[in-house]
Amino acid sequence: MLRMFVALWAVLLSQGVIAQSKQSVDLIVNGDYVLTMEPGAAVIPQGAVAVKGGAIVAVGSQQEIAGNFAAARTVSGTNKVLMPGMVNGHTHTSMVLFRGMADDLPLMTWLQNYIFPMEGRYVDAALVEAGTRLACYEMIKSGTTSFVDMYFYPDVISDVVVDCGMRAIVGAPMIDFPSPGFKGWDDSFAAGVDYVKRWNGKHPRITPALAPHAPYTVSLDHLRAAFGAARDLNVPVSIHVSEDQAGIKTAQERYGMTPIDLLEGVGMLGQRTVAAHVVWPTDSEIQKLAGSLAGPIHNPTSNMKTGAGISPVPQMLEAGVNVGLGTDGAASNNDLNLWQEMRLAALIHKGVSNDPTVVTAQQALDMATRMGANAVGLGDIVGTLEAGKRADLIQVSFDSPRFDPLYNVASHLVYVATGEDVVTSIIDGQIVMLDGEVSTIDIAKMRQDVEAIAQKIRQDLESR
């Protein structure tokens, strides 16, 4: 009886006999091809997402969404893919100012002879402000909506991220030796904890975090203190883990343990940990990562550029580890375009294993979106298009003849598209880019600020 009534109601509605009252929303975003990125979900042709109060209220066909919702504004989806914004799980935003300064060097030489000294000389609040803004611009343009940062002056970073309209986990850096603004561990640790206390719950798009640099630059006691403080404050830890063999050798010489076994002892696996790189995990460490709260972040460009190695991503995926993708800083990439990481992730593992079935296009997309969000602990709020999640969405234009003919959307996204094809970015329901124009950043001013700092650095380098 009830079923009959519902069927009759639907017929009357569709014929306009009964006037349907539509729910009002802020925004409807259409897409000729909608990828929700939920596990196993099919592409929705002629799909749409309704957004209200910064959240997704419904996902469906354009007909359903237009039938049920009245929007103040609608974004056209002709020839466009609509999908979740991408998650850059590991970067050092301000290092865009060191882009192209020192290339083609081993990781430890690059860090100790170039990056650490340059940071000591040049990093201040002004550099971080200009660098973070430039990095946010580059990330918005190429479809990243959330990122995990680890850099000095986290308050400045957080303010810029809020201004630019992005979402970030901002890790306050802590390290055992002198670094910009700090004498060593004690003051960097205290400042990091203070930063977290200031920003915890302050802004919905900022998650403060503690970022002890790595097991080879932070003592075991200090690692224990950092993980303990993060537990007490209920915030994530962001840390470099098993990046290259030199760092692993140091940890092994000091403690007789490999890094993940070592970090397990300070709580890494049982609390939210963004584990950058994880290039050299042992088989037993991979098993430990599966089902843990730690998310490894795969940074293929940086790992190849520094000669760190190739992470066993296929083995980690096979074991059920939630692997995310990252660019690392622009000094070792040299851009912040996650599209390149996605394509490399889908290619290099095939090459080194002689097995073209590993890391499929779909898995690469998963790592850039849903799995990346899970890996950094933001999976409850972003990473897929589903009602209830925050509205972080991008549109990718398939307008160019480069996309002809179209048989498989995931294949084109991974093997054809580049960051340049991203045309729309909506973060927390706010349109931050439309038709390729970023509305939250004064580009001329941004470039002036960057050039002023670059000029000072050039002059200083020439005078040495």
Binding site for Zn ion (CB under 5 A): 328
Residue number with the smallest Cβ distance to Zn ion: 328
How far is residue 375's CA from residue 113's CA, in Å, rounded to a whole number? 32
CB-nearer residue toward Zn ion: 26 or 328 = 328
Min separation Cβ 94 and Zn ion, Å: 12
In angstroms, what is the minimal distance from the CB of 276 to Zn ion? 5
Are 157 and 351 in contact by the 8 Å Cβ rule? The answer is no
The encoded tokens of residue 299 equal 């940074």
Strands (E), 198-282: 206-212, 237-241, 273-277
Minimum CB distance to Zn ion smaller for 328 or for 366: 328
Q: Minimum distance between the CB of residue 332 and Zn ion, rounded to whole angstroms?
A: 7
Q: How far is the CB of 347 from Zn ion (least distance, A)?
A: 22
Q: Which residue do the tokens 């200031």 mark?
A: 198
CB of 41 to Zn ion, least distance (A): 32
Q: Which two tokens stand for residue 302?
A: 């940086």
**Closest approach of Zn ion to the CB of residue 240, in Å:** 5
Tokens, residue 234: 């209920």
In this structure, what is the dihedral angle of CA atoms 313, 418, 93, 111, given to the nearest 10 degrees? 60
Query: Least distance (Å) from Zn ion to the CB of residue 214?
Result: 9
Least Å distance, CB 334 to Zn ion, is 14
**Is residue 125 within 8 Å of residue 132, measured between CB atoms?**
no
Helices within 294-435 (DSSP H only): 300-305, 313-318, 338-353, 361-368, 370-375, 409-415
- CB-nearer residue toward Zn ion: 217 or 395: 217
Peptide bond into 45 cis (omega under 30): no
Token pair of 238 as six digits: 């962001």
Count Cβ neighbours within 10 Å for each residue of 206-245 and write b for 16 or more, e otherwise: bbbbbbbbbbbbbebebbbbbbebbbeeebbbbbbbbbbe
The values of phi and psi at residue 232, to 5°, are -60, -40
Helix (H) or strand (E) holding 139, with range, is helix 125-141
| DSSP-derived pairing of the beta strands 44-52 and 55-61 | antiparallel
In the DSSP assignment, the letter for residue 308 is -
| Cα–Cα distance measured from residue 134 to residue 124, given in angstroms and rounded to the nearest whole number | 16
Cβ distance 34 to 83 under 8 Å?
Answer: yes
Residue 35 token pair: 């990828």
Read off the amino acid at residue 437. E
Give one DSSP letter per residue of 172-187, joined into a string: EEE-SS-BTTBSSHHH
For Zn ion, the closer CB: 261 or 328: 328
CB of 277 to Zn ion, least distance (A): 7
Chain-centroid distance, C-alpha 3: 46
Q: Angle between the 154-164 and 185-199 helix axes, to the nearest 10 degrees? A: 30
Which of 238/384 has CB closer to Zn ion?
Answer: 238
By beta-carbon proximity to Zn ion, the closer residue of 331 and 441 is 331
**Going by DSSP bridges, is the β-strand pair 393-397/80-84 parallel, antiparallel, or unpaired?**
antiparallel
Of 134 and 365, the one with the shorter C-beta distance to Zn ion is: 134
- Tell me how far, at minimum, the Cβ of 95 lies from Zn ion, in Å: 9
Minimum separation from the CB atom of position 89 to Zn ion (A)? 11
CB 268 within 8 A of CB 244: no
- Which residue lies nearer to Zn ion by CB, 119 or 328? 328
Closest to Zn ion by CB, 328 or 341: 328
Q: Kindly tell me which of 274 and 409 has the beta carbon lying closer to Zn ion.
A: 274
Q: How far is the CB of 157 from Zn ion (least distance, A)?
A: 15
